[in-house]
Amino acid sequence: MVKLFLKIQAELTNVTDLEPNSSPEKPYEFTFKIQCTKCRLIHEKLIQINQYEKHQIGDSRGDASFIFKCKDCKSEHSANVLPTNKKFTMEDYEKRVFVPILEIDARGLDFLEFEPTGDFKCTGIESGTKFDEVDLSDEWYDVDEKTNDEVSITEIKWSIDRQ
């Protein structure tokens, strides 16, 4: 098993506490490009995985967030995802650090790229205004109605790192 972390770094303007907008009723679907570590085939389709879904692993008593059978080598692989419960804050931006927002326990899979395809959420730094539909597929801009300040998330960088 390989432990990986999905990390984010971004430039925040007048917002803090950036994280995926996820709940059991509406889970955030993390979207990745994956590769089989046995035969090195890169799966042609992006996969989606969330922290709430569980699937039975074949010939095993365990379960996983995601199960994948490689069409090339026919090996079955799995991965579990766990939120780190960390938020990307204004302090993290000021320190220019990457913050892990998801832990991935992968068996037989390598996670190559992350595509932000769902909503994130953050909070207005002065007003406490909640922004629940933040699209990070590109830079994000809005206005905090309580303060009339522009809010934004720009210079977004993603990283998938081994522990």
Structure confidence at residue 102 (pLDDT): 96
Q: What is the pLDDT of residues 38-78, one digit of tens each?
A: 999 999 999 999 999 998 887 766 899 999 999 999 999 99
pLDDT band at 133 (very low <50, low <70, confident <90, very high): very high
Amino acid present at 29: E
Give the C-alpha separation, 132 to 122, whole Å. 7
- Per DSSP, what are the bridge partners of residue 160? 6
Mean pLDDT of all residues belonging to the chain: 95
Q: What is the pLDDT of residues 78-113, one digit of tens each?
A: 999 999 999 999 999 999 999 999 999 999 999 999
Sign (positive/negative) of CA torsion 156, 89, 28, 111?
A: positive
